[in-house]
Structure 1
């Protein structure tokens, strides 16, 4: 089972609604949110906290109010009380997304920013990956963010984050997307790559991407009762 929800967060959250939602998210997230400086960062964090709780209840009938949201040494989130239930969150710009599954999963979303100097990121790509980025000069930013989100989703799925050398594995645009990892003899990972709102790239890494059930919603659909 693999479920993914993408939330467009452009709608306004009114003050009373905001306060109600703060009481709904877990204590650790609430404390971290209060230490964030920028309002949009606070909003993305709040929506992420609500989203994961709603999805666990909807898809696995889990009352998240009694859960411990923990992180490994490398920052991968996990549920202490549920060994076989996994989740991963990501956000960028006006979107927050989450995947929940009964197998390990990683998700990443990035806004396609055409002002980024791609040369700064060449050291993070294998030779074959960089060749894909530079092959089509008209679409190089699109290709770059496609590969970057795929790579991020992979390291988030395997739970090592940025501690893994990004040049130790390579991805190739085939059908299905091809992965070669010099540190693993074999792998079961599959990938999904989507475009959201015409200017975001969304990537998912899982062992059961073919079963992904994905939907896109707005804030009023995420918490209509608040």
Structure 2
């Protein structure tokens, strides 16, 4: 499993770079990207498209042979590739991340998921009102763990670990919206994940943190690896599987690679 993470800053992303990169995606993706009102939303989506295409080009797949599909739940996957590659993309604010791994399990589209989130209280919310706004997706145990006499900063960090691990797991399953997050319970102190009150078999969850100089992001990759039990890798562990890029440098390199035939 690997993760490529791209830090995006709109003030460094020139119009020429944007237009040159836009020429490298398929017409359908280009049309969708141009519909975004905010340029930062368009650039994040464009970076996501370039991540998958750069991955395939580095694996020896020519641009003309790159074919993508989507499941019934609209989870994208790489079609007509042998051996298959499972991947998933997540973005929040200034961060775009792609997790990928050999698609060793059938169907490969359902074997990996990633979620990243900026650690912050959105808008004019208070910490309590923010957590209450999504409280129906937390278990009673998770509620207690968030308000157990710890600092506000620690409460916020714990909340986003709980949320990102739930999101990554459901993304890996390819279920889309509608999955009841209360079926998933994450005990941060014990580092134990339960689904329907049982430890799911065959999963690995890899936690990571990234900074864009001013902001902290938390991320989780959920990967089905087979076997018994579930492993949760702490964010302080070695992260040789994680590569962080500056968006401008990544896009410039993607343009060079994808223009080569």
TM-score (norm 2): 0.77
In structure 1, the residue matched to 2:116 is 109
Q: CA deviation at 1:137?
A: 4.2
Please list the CA deviations of residues 52-106 of structure 1 after superposition, one character each: whole Å capped at 9, or x if unmatched: 2112333x33335422222212121112213731111111111111111114211
**CA distance in structure 2 between the aligned counterparts of 1:7 and 1:114, rounded to whole angstroms:** 22
Q: Is the 8 A contact 1:110 1:202 kept in 2?
A: yes
1:9 is aligned to 2:26:
no
Q: Unaligned regions of 5+ residues in structure 1, if any?
A: none
Q: Does 1:134 align with 2:147?
A: yes
The answer on whether the counterparts of 1:7 and 1:96 sit within 8 Å (CA) in structure 2 is yes
RMSD of Structure 2 on Structure 1 (CA): 2.4
Secondary structure, counterpart of 1:123 in structure 2: helix
Match of 2:34 in 1: 34
Q: Which residue of 2 aligns with 1:214?
A: 242
How many pairs align? 223
The residue correspondences of 1:174-193 to structure 2 (distance < 5 A) are: 177-182=191-196, 186-193=200-207
Q: Report the TM-score when normalising by structure 1.
A: 0.88
Shift in CA distance, 18/125, structure 1 to aligned 2, threshold 3 Å = same
Deviates more, 1:94-103 or 1:184-193: 184-193
State the shift of 1:42 in Å.
0.5
The alignment partner of 1:37 has SS state of: coil
Match of residue 181, structure 2, among 146, 166, 191 = 166
3-state SS, counterpart of residue 51 of structure 1: helix
User: CA 1:223/1:129 → structure 2, altered by over 3 Å: closer, same or farther?
Assistant: same
Greater mean alpha carbon deviation, residues 205-214 or residues 17-26: 205-214
Alignment of 1:65-144 (within 5 A): 65-82=64-81, 84-103=84-103, 104-115=111-122, 116=125, 117-135=130-148, 136-138=150-152, 139-144=154-159
Q: Structure 2 regions of 5+ residues with no counterpart? A: 104-110, 226-231, 234-238, 256-261
User: Which structure's CA Rg is the greater one?
Assistant: 2
Question: SS of 1:43's equivalent?
Answer: helix
Q: Deviations over 1:152-187 (max 9, x none)?
A: 111001111222111112122257x42211298842
Structure 2 CA distance, aligned partners of 1:57 and 1:121? Answer: 40
Q: Does 1:196 align with 2:210?
A: yes
Q: How big is the shift at 1:194?
A: 1.7
Q: Is the 8 A contact 2:119 2:156 kept in 1?
A: yes
Give the Cα separation in 2 of the matches to 1:9 and 1:165: 32
